[in-house]
Amino acid sequence: MTTSDNLVAGTLRIGDLERTFTLSVPAAMGSGAPLVIALHGNSQDASGAMMRAWTGLDRPAGERGIPVAYPDGYRGGWADGRGVTAADADGVDDVAFLSALIDWSAKRLGTRADHSIVAGISNGAIMAHRIALRVSDRVAAFAAVAGALPAALAGGLASAGVEPTHAVSALLINGTADPLVSLDGGYSRHRGPNGELRGRVLSQHETTERWRAVNQCGAEPETSHAPEDPDRPGWLGLTRRTFTGGIGGTKVIEVTVHGGGHTWPGSAPITDPQMVAMVGQVAQNLDAAAEILRFADPLADAAARRR
C-alpha cells in the first residue's frame, strides 16, 4: 500500500491475481462513513484512474467526508455476468474482489461494510447490478449509468443464484440516444466465436421493474420532467420516475436523458464529431456524481433496516 496526499494505492490478492485500486480519502472523513466504489467501463486502456478523472466523484464525496475507491478491472473490464468480457471468459471473480475491497476499507479506514455504495458506467454499471444482487447485505445503494440488468441474472432471481437477501436502492440513468446500450435492451456488440448473439440485457423499463419488485416499492411513481433548452449546449430533456416505499426506506429512481448518449452526465462535453457519433451527447444539466451522492446520503443510514 502506498499513500500520496489523499490518495491510497493498494493491491489485493484474489485467487491467483493481484488486483489493484486507488482510494481517495477526504481530509475530514466522517465516522462510520460509507465507501463509494466507482467502476469504469470496458476498454483495453480503462482504469480506475481514468474513472476518477472523468466522473468528478471526489468532489461531492469529499464534501460529505466519504472515501471513493477506484478499482482497476481485469484487462480493462469486469466479469459482469453477461459472458462477453475478458474477465468473464477467464473466470475472474470480481464479486470476490469488490467484496474484499469493502472489507479492506472497513478494516483500515473504519467505513461501514454494510453501507457501501457502488456506481458504474457501461460494463461497470452492469457490474454494479451484479454486485448489488450478489452481496446485497453490503451494498445499501447503487447507481448504474448507461448499463442495464443482464438477462442472465434476472430470469428468476432465485434460480439464477442471485436472489438478494436485502433490498438495495437503485439509481438508473440512461440516455435515449445511447448507441451502445439501447433503452429497449438487447445483445452486446461483442459476438460469440461463431458470430452468435450473446450478453443480452433487459430494457430500461424491465430493469426498473425488477428492482422495484426486489425492494417492494410502490407501483405508482412520482414523475417529473425538465425540458430541453436548445439555446444551451448539452441542456437535454430529463424525465425522472421515483418509486418509494421500499423495504427499510429503499427506493428506485429512473432518470431518462432525452438525447443523451453512452456518457457520464456532467462530464466534459465531447467536441470531436467522430466521438459524438460513436457515443452520443453528454448532458450538462445533470451532474451524475452529485446526483449519486445525494441519492445515497439518506439511504446508507437505513442499511440495517433493509432485510
> Would 15 be classed as within a structural domain?
yes
In 152-251, where do the E strands start and end?
A: 169-175, 222-226, 237-243
Q: Which pLDDT belongs to residue 304? A: 43
> Would 258 be classed as within a structural domain?
no
Average pLDDT rounded to a whole number, residues 287-306: 74
Q: Which pLDDT belongs to residue 198? A: 80
Q: What sign has the CA pseudo-torsion 120, 124, 125, 131?
A: negative
Confidence of residue 19 (pLDDT cuts 50, 70, 90): very high
Query: Is the Cβ–Cβ distance between 71 and 48 less than 8 Å?
Result: yes
> Would 260 be classed as within a structural domain?
no
Q: Which pLDDT belongs to residue 6? A: 87
Q: Which three cell numbers stand for residue 295?
A: 441519492
Question: Per DSSP, what are the bridge partners of residue 19?
Answer: 12
Q: Which pLDDT belongs to residue 162? A: 64
CA distance linking residue 130 with residue 139, whole number of Å: 11
> Would 280 be classed as within a structural domain?
no
Whole-number mean pLDDT of the chain? Answer: 91
Backbone angles phi, psi at 44, to 5 degrees: -55, -35
Average pLDDT rounded to a whole number, residues 122-146: 96
In the chain, the number of structural domains is 1
Single pTM value for the model: 0.93
Query: Is the Cβ–Cβ distance between 249 and 299 less than 8 Å?
Result: yes
> Would 195 be classed as within a structural domain?
no
The full length of the chain comes to 307
Residue 306 clears pLDDT 80, i.e. is over it: no
> Would 131 be classed as within a structural domain?
yes
**Pick the residue with more confidence: 163 or 300?**
163
**Pick the residue with more confidence: 220 or 198?**
220
Q: Which pLDDT belongs to residue 140? A: 94
Q: Domain with 117 in it: what CATH number?
A: 3.40.50.1820
> Would 269 be classed as within a structural domain?
no
**Per-residue pLDDT tens over the stretch 252-286:** 999 999 999 999 999 999 999 999 999 999 999 99
Q: Which pLDDT belongs to residue 294? A: 93
> Would 6 be classed as within a structural domain?
yes
Domain ranges, residue 25: 2-173+203-224+242-250+287-301
Q: Which three cell numbers stand for residue 39?
A: 467502476
Q: Which pLDDT belongs to residue 305? A: 45
